[in-house]
Amino acid sequence: MDLVEVGSVGGFFALRTGAVERLATPGAHGGGYLPFAQIYAGDIEPLSARVDTVAAKLGAPERRVAASVAQLGLAARLWSVALGSAALRGEVPDLDPARLFWDPRGSSPDDLRLPEPRVFPVTGTAPGGAVTGATPVTDLAAAVREVVQYGHLVPLAEAVRADGPISPRLLWGNAGSALAGAVRELRAWSRRTGRPDAGERAAAIGAELFTHPDLRSTGVSRDGSFRRRSCCLYYRCPSGGLCGDCVFDRPPPRPSVEEVSG
């Protein structure tokens, strides 16, 4: 499958391919790639290291703030790669956690690598995986949901919560925000490149994905915009503010040092 055009949408849509040169040693994550399956199986040390990195960079006053931002970044990467391919190419990459590698020490957008890209089976896809009207949006959405939501976001949320206390509602809110952001970027790209079909397909797939109970209540879509019903907590950081889709109209008062430490 060809992921080059998908990567042209933006950094969050790009996916490195080819052999993994640097593999992290289990239990000693000083650097290198590791499969997501390792984290989902209970080795959360690399994820904890990522949260530490984000916390230091943002000056996060609470660990859950850094955990939220880290999870939001990964959700955005996973949705973008899968949705971008579905909208532009009519095919969904197989992001099997055992085959998708991540370097938790990398910068944002998260550094992902897929050694040998292959297509995830999509019901209704024409021979060769070509984009045609015969490929129902519901089938593309079902494949994206299987690959991203079930394959990654559910076990990722469990791993994040194993690292420290954080609201499941907040994590699903992040997932909804990341999905809406991926749709928004694809629609903007489609306008710039004269590919309205790709933008329309991205919006339709996104709308179908939002029918799932875990995503349905995460926000409200109106006229191409999205307003979430929860907050990622970024505003609590010293230089933080409100995201464009935040539930708040203005930043709530930041907690004092005593409130955070207590």
> What would the pLDDT profile of 51-93 be if each residue is shown by its tens digit?
999 999 999 999 999 999 999 999 999 999 999 999 999 999 9
Q: How many Å separate Cα 153 from the centre of its chain?
A: 8
Report residue 30's pLDDT band, with 50, 70 and 90 as the boundaries: low
Is the pLDDT reported for residue 132 higher than 50? no
Rounded Cα–Cα distance for residues 166 and 64 (Å)? 6
Mean pLDDT score, 37-44: 96
Rounded Cα–Cα distance for residues 157 and 135 (Å)? 31
User: Bigger pLDDT: 256 or 201?
Assistant: 201
Please, how many CA atoms are within 13 Å of residue 230, restricted to the half-sphere of its CB? 21
Rounded Cα–Cα distance for residues 220 and 119 (Å)? 32
pLDDT of residue 151: 98
The mean pLDDT value of the chain amounts to 90
Please state the domain extents for the chain: 4-19+35-261
pLDDT tens-place string over residues 173-199: 999 999 999 999 999 999 999 999 999
* DSSP 8-state code for residue 103: E
**Residue 171: is it exposed, middle or buried by C-beta count within 10 angstroms (0-12/13-18/19+)?**
buried
